[in-house]
């Protein structure tokens, strides 16, 4: 009978949750929060804003991203601010609701990872969205504004080395988990920020390739 199979599957899921030391109700709550965070991230603000205002697919313009910087190429600074604000709000909302579901610290970070993943790889847009920086910043500021503030000196230090804003931001995001570890933050914080750094580096891999290509070109010009 179908209902018996469904009950068997539920029993197996509950058993698996107990094996991993998690109460089944908590496991279900955690799964729902993470799914909700991913779907929230899939609300591609820049894509829908440009569709509505300019009847264009922003992913066919500029960098191919649906993020705020690319939206600015079509809608100007107002489009940039609207997109950045709403993208940041997605990250903030994801981590706002996670602790209110009485989830542990690691699950709060998992919710931020899920919402950033949804922003970068939205299912309804065939997994082609933005690059996650705005959503990342909104979530980080909601978890602890002091951690978000640490990105400023790290980014300034990165800019003095590479002289490129996007790469300086990626350096800051990559160095943040190391900095948090040195400052004595708990493992879920260090691990969560590290996982987010990996996601954002993956999302910006074309920017990294372009930066490396430009360096080679500049070196070639200097040697001529």
Contacts of residue 105, Cβ cutoff 8 Å, sequence gap at least 6: 186, 188, 189
The domain tally of the chain equals 1
Q: Is residue 8 part of a domain?
A: no
Contacts of residue 87, Cβ cutoff 8 Å, sequence gap at least 6: 45, 46, 67, 68, 119, 130, 134, 135, 138
Q: Is residue 13 part of a domain?
A: no
- Give the pTM: 0.85
Q: Is residue 10 part of a domain?
A: no
- Give the up-direction half-sphere exposure of residue 27: CA atoms within 13 A in the CB hemisphere: 15
Give kind and range of the element (H or E) at residue 64.
none
pLDDT in tens, 72-115: 999 999 999 999 999 999 999 999 988 888 888 999 999 999 99
Whether 15 has a pLDDT exceeding 80, the answer reads no
Q: Is residue 15 part of a domain?
A: no
Q: Is residue 90 part of a domain?
A: yes
Q: Is residue 98 part of a domain?
A: yes
Between 3 and 193, the more confident residue is: 193
Which residues span the domain enclosing 94? 26-223
| Mean pLDDT along residues 129-148 | 94
Q: Is residue 121 part of a domain?
A: yes
Q: Is residue 156 part of a domain?
A: yes
């Amino acid at each position: 009978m179908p209902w018996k199979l469904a009950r068997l599957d539920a029993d197996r899921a509950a058993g698996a949750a107990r094996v991993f030391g998690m109460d089944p109700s908590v496991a279900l709550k955690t799964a729902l929060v993470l799914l909700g965070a991913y779907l929230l991230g899939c609300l591609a603000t820049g894509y829908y804003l440009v569709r509505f205002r300019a009847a264009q697919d922003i992913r066919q313009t500029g960098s191919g991203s649906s993020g705020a910087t690319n939206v600015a190429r079509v809608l100007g600074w107002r489009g940039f601010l609207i997109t950045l604000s709403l993208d940041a709000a997605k990250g903030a909302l994801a981590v706002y609701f996670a602790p209110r579901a009485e989830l542990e610290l690691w699950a709060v970070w998992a919710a931020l990872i899920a919402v950033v993943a949804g922003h970068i790889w939205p299912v309804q847009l065939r997994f082609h969205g933005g690059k996650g920086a705005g959503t990342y910043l909104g979530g980080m500021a909601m978890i602890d504004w002091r951690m978000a503030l640490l990105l400023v000196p790290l980014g300034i230090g990165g800019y003095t080395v590479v002289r490129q804003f996007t790469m300086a931001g990626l350096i800051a995001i990559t160095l943040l988990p190391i900095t948090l570890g040195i400052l004595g933050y708990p493992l879920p914080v260090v691990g969560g920020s590290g996982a987010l750094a990996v996601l954002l580096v993956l999302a910006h891999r074309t920017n990294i390739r372009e930066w490396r290509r430009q360096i080679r070109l500049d070196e070639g010009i200097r040697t001529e």
